[in-house]
Structure 1
Amino acid sequence: MSVLKKSNNGKIYILRSYHKLILYIMNILYKFFSSIVTTVVLLALYASAASVATFIENDYGTSVAKYLVYNSWLFNVLHFLLAVNMIVAFFKYKMYEPKRLSMFLFHFAFIVIVIGAAITRFISYEGSMHIREGDTSNKILSYISYLQIEINNKEFVYKSETPVNFNAVSGNKFNEGIDFDNEEFSINLKEVIPNAVENIVAAENGRAIVVFTFLNNNIRNNVTIKYGETKWVGNQLFCFGTNSPDNAFYLDYINDTLYFMNNEEVSYSMMRDTIEGRIAAKNLTPLHTKFLYSWNTNALVLNKIYPKAKTELRSMGIKSNGGQNALIFDITNNNQTQELLVFGRENYLGKQKSITSGKYKIGISYGSKEIDLPFSLKLDDFVLEKYPGSSSPAAYESFVTLTDDRVSKVEQH
């Protein structure tokens, strides 16, 4: 088949259709996808990839296995080829006929699994729900880690979140410029230390470092602050040796003594003793160990003072899964750059760490986030069965009640 077409300059071109070429290519593709050899090769590749991913996950963690295998485009292509192969074989061998019911069930189930995997991978989200017996929850903790940024000037708030997978083998790059309130902010990820622990070591040219336990709205925080730093912990601002606003808890190290000053009255009591009293607001007072200091819904216990020290981050190794990743950011505003250290990892709720720059509070958190569900689950009963004569669990089951107020539905499972 051919078509004649006359151009503007009077010349005549013959446009040949390529239907024969298209049919030839389609025939090759049909033979390829309907071949048993293709099926065997694809399944072997799939099994090999899954096996390798299992070993990677066991040695380096889930995030590395996702980065190298599960979330790679090659693994997605392999899924697609297997799905097409199964669909072509389904019609070629007429598996919809009653006499081929067993083959029909196998191929149809595999196709459904691949479709479900594609939905999970591209258009849905996964998470885990932590719920105690008798409690009700409608929140899950995402399996994906997010880098969440918040900038607050007490009038307006800028928020952003980016799904990330920082691990020992990925590039670990992040650089974002933010225009907020007619100000330019630059946030650059300088370094990622996998499975990091923070050690405080003595240093001749170091500065004073204070370690204390701070209870804010019944949430316990272990806080380390260096001389010259400001740090937000929950809704409380701490300033160590710097000019502090009225709402800050001020610390200073003078003549080998640690002092504090608060804008509110502080109650104190000595642990394991009957000594107690009150300290007036805005009164510079020595801060001692073994004392509990409390105000409003806050409480503080001083753990240790390091007169001259520095902090060192050390990785426990890429094969360790016990620690959190340490992310070191450079945050630039008004030509001033500050360093912010953030800890986090997947499957743990990210805790925000903050710095102040002028009137702005800049906070970053790294880790999983809470996702609200359109329904709620109540754990009615949790049954744990053990092996006879052993404390090892043999099996468990949960009885839950699902409540969906959108359609007035209550179901027990």
Structure 2
Amino acid sequence: MNILYKFFSSIVTTVVLLALYASAASVATFIENDFGTSVAKYLVYNSWLFNVLHLFLVINMITAFFKYKMFEPKRLSMFLFHFAFIVIVVGAAITRFISYEGSMHIREGDTSNKILSYISYLQIEINNGEFVYKSETPVNFNAVSGNKFNEDIDFDNEEFSIYLKEVIPNAIEKIVTAENGEPIVVFTFLNNNIKNDVTIKYGEIKWVGDQLFCFGTNPPKNAFYMDYANDTLYFMNDEEVSFSMMRDTVEGKIAAKILNPLLNGFLYTWGTNALVLNRVYPKAKTELRSMGVKSTGGQNALIFDITNNNQTQELLVFGRENYIGKQNRVTSGKYAINISYGSKEIELPFSLKLDDFVLEKYPGSSSPAAYESFVTLTDDRVSKVEQHKIFMNSVL
């Protein structure tokens, strides 16, 4: 015990630990600049070595209290400096291991009680129409991690295997023309006020939100059916569809289960859904391409093999951190299997309202000089309503 005390209270140990800490933080900064935040977290910030380094620094500070008798009034400034460091590290440890963190987006005049988690989750849902199986796993898929995931699920006396076959970082789905290709349709679809940019290939059945799309194959019940023939794209729906020309006053209705042309420049609506055709490729194919590990504009593409009843289906899932994951679905008999990848919304026990946001700029420039937010904090649990001003990056 005496040896450990001498080791941790040594000034040499302090210098070495601080040098290691500064070096690790510097390396993490360069990694984050070149490969992104997720890689820096994986290699440095969330590594067990970095956690041990924090622990050693805290022990070093505590032993310094006794060695240099910092409890005496004349050494109060030294005591406060060391104690503040310990409080910061303990607070960070609580956030890291016990609590959670995320970002809250509030427009001026709006109120929010939800944050978007900094951690990405792989969420799996299996629905048989009566019961639902759900699971979520925190993940960090990036350019340098192993990117492995495999889950065997026993649900409703059925075996399901979810295997992550490949991860393509910062991927985009590129459509290229090909002589031996098939028709591909690109459209924008609004489902329950959620916008989706959809690409569907000939012969494909795809779920977008709670709407099923079918292109060039026998349409299941309640599917929005599309077909391509004689250089024209047709559609048929199980319910009546309203249409309007976006650049004119032309509008009308199309009866259910009637094949009609699907045209550019028209808005098609039914129920809580809206669709706009973007482009039709008569002969094309899709290719997944990575924009490189340094790019920040794309999403990670996850390719899964989903096996049930000795039948394996491939499912492509796009997602990234700081964005809510969108469900992607395949069906196997009576089972609907949904997988999403990305951040998730976390509901808070209090709410914040952004009353006013003030941005000051440098004279003759558009660069911000300072900013401040005026917010109202509401906590119904204790009947609390407080108004606060947050200047720049100050802490509330």
User: TM-score by structure 1 length?
Assistant: 0.91
Aligned to 1:15: none
Aligned to 1:250: 225
Aligned to 2:77: 102
Distance in 2, matches of 1:388 and 1:289, equals 47
Aligned to 2:122: 147
Distance in 2, matches of 1:50 and 1:390, equals 34
Unaligned residue ranges in structure 2 (runs of 5+)? 389-396
Letter in 2 for 1:69: V
Distance in 1, matches of 2:231 and 2:293, equals 40
Aligned to 2:261: 286
Aligned residues: 388
Aligned to 1:227: 202
Aligned to 1:134: 109
Alignment partner of 2:252 out of 277, 280, 283: 277
Aligned to 2:235: 260
- Give CA-to-partner distance per residue, 1:196-232, whole Å, 9 cap, x none: 1110112233222111111223322111011222111
Matched, 1:342 2:333: no
Note the C-alpha offset of 1:258.
2.3
Matched, 1:330 2:280: no
Aligned to 2:355: 380
Distance in 2, matches of 1:381 and 1:289, equals 41
Note the C-alpha offset of 1:292.
2.2
Aligned to 1:6: none
Contact 1:146 1:161 in 2 (8 A): yes
Secondary structure of the corresponding residue to residue 283 of structure 1: coil
Contact 1:60 1:321 in 2 (8 A): no
Note the C-alpha offset of 1:385.
1.7
Distance in 2, matches of 1:389 and 1:240, equals 55
Q: What RMSD over aligned residues (CA atoms) do the two structures have, in Å?
A: 1.4
Seen in structure 2, the aligned counterparts of structure 1 residues 244 and 325 have a Cα distance that, compared at 3 Å, is same
Letter in 2 for 1:406: R
Matched, 1:202 2:169: no
Aligned to 1:4: none
User: TM-score by structure 2 length?
Assistant: 0.95
- Give CA-to-partner distance per residue, 1:163-207, whole Å, 9 cap, x none: 000001100001111111222111111111111111011223322
Unaligned residue ranges in structure 1 (runs of 5+)? 1-25
Higher Rg of the two aligned structures:
1
Distance in 2, matches of 1:108 and 1:311, equals 58
Matched, 1:77 2:52: yes
Letter in 1 for 2:137: T
Distance in 2, matches of 1:355 and 1:95, equals 64
Contact 1:354 1:363 in 2 (8 A): yes
- Give CA-to-partner distance per residue, 1:362-394, whole Å, 9 cap, x none: 111111100000111111221212222222111
Q: Taking every aligned residue pair, what percent have the same amino acid on both sides? A: 88
Secondary structure of the corresponding residue to residue 113 of structure 2: strand
Secondary structure of the corresponding residue to residue 278 of structure 1: strand
Distance in 2, matches of 1:32 and 1:290, equals 75
- Give CA-to-partner distance per residue, 1:8-54, whole Å, 9 cap, x none: xxxxxxxxxxxxxxxxxx12111100100000000000011011111
Matched, 1:188 2:163: yes
Secondary structure of the corresponding residue to residue 69 of structure 1: helix
Note the C-alpha offset of 1:272.
2.5
Letter in 2 for 1:157: V
Matched, 1:169 2:140: no
Seen in structure 2, the aligned counterparts of structure 1 residues 398 and 276 have a Cα distance that, compared at 3 Å, is closer
Alignment partner of 1:353 out of 310, 328, 340: 328
- Give CA-to-partner distance per residue, 1:109-158, whole Å, 9 cap, x none: 11111111111110010001000111111100000011111112221111
Distance in 2, matches of 1:64 and 1:292, equals 42
Aligned to 2:368: 393
Aligned to 1:9: none
Letter in 2 for 1:118: A
Contact 1:381 1:399 in 2 (8 A): yes
Distance in 1, matches of 2:270 and 2:251, equals 14
Note the C-alpha offset of 1:274.
4.3
Distance in 2, matches of 1:393 and 1:315, equals 34
